[in-house]
Structure formats: C-alpha cells, structure tokens
Amino acid sequence: MRKIKKSTKKQDERQKNIQKGKMNSSRERIETKNELKQVEESWIDKEIRNFYQETKRDKEQHPKPPYYLKDREGHLIGDKKGKLNRITEYFEELLNKEKGEIRKSNYESENEQGDAELEVILTAPTKEEVAGNIESLKNNTQEKISSQQGGEAIIRRLWRLVA
C-alpha cells in the first residue's frame, strides 16, 4: 500500500509543478518514462492490483481529446446536445430520401456537372463463373473431404439463385 500512496503523492506534486510551470518538458518526459517502467515492473512482478491502479491513474491524467462535428454551414459543434441534434438531423435526412435520390446525390457530389445519371449495368453470371467461384472456395479444403460433394446440381441451384 505504501507504494501506491507514494506514487500518488509524486504525481500530485508533478501535476502542481506542471501547472505552475516549474517543470520543463524534458524532465516531464523522464518522469513519465519512470512511471511507465514502474507500471511495467508491477506487471512483471505479478502485482496486478498495483498495475491496474497505476494504469487507471495514468488514464485519468490524460483524458481523451474532444471530437467535433460540422453542421450544414461547416461550423464546428463541440457541445454534447449540439452533436446529438446534428447526428439525428443527419440520419433523418438519410433515411427520408428515396433510393434513387441517394444514388443521384452521391453521383452529383462526385461529378460536379450533374448532367448524367448514375447507371449500373449488372449482368447475370454464367454457369462457368459460378462453377469457378465454387472451385475457388474449395481450394484449401482437407484431402478427406470430397471436392465433388455438390457436383453439377449445386452449381445449377446457385446459378438459378443468383441469376
């Protein structure tokens, strides 16, 4: 228990000195390195409780940086309520659009002209393509397993399903 109390006193002193500007960055790095060594030693010596307490303390000293969102005009939003409002607004817009509108708007953002519509032409695969894909799935199977388990019937069924 003494170890923990000493380290908290040291860290409290360190934080006060940093806030007052008495500690320079090189000394701060050295102390951080020593603290990391102490945490590592706790792990190696199987002092699990000390290890978790020290890592928790380090985590509390270095909070996560805040994240921001942009509103429609491009301004940053930092408060929690504003972020939640922007997220709900975004998903309402996204979910209320028709499928065609979404495709068209995505294409227009990529293509500045916006005069042509996005058309995707899909052709049904041939039986040979289906058979080739099935064969590629069987490449790394064990020798005990027969590669002819489905045979031509499985190829036909999958081809009908996809086509």
Q: Report residue 106 as tokens.
A: 């995505």
Domain residue spans of the chain: 2-61, 69-110, 122-139+148-163
Backbone angles phi, psi at 98, to 5 degrees: -80, 160
Predicted confidence (pLDDT) per residue in 88-116, tens digit: 988 888 888 765 555 555 555 555 554 45
Mean pLDDT over the full length of the chain = 74
Q: pLDDT digit string (tens) for 60-98? A: 877 777 788 888 898 999 888 999 999 998 888 888 876
Check if the beta carbon of residue 87 is closer than 8 Å to that of residue 67: no
CA distances from 38 to 35, 41, 132 (A): 5, 5, 58
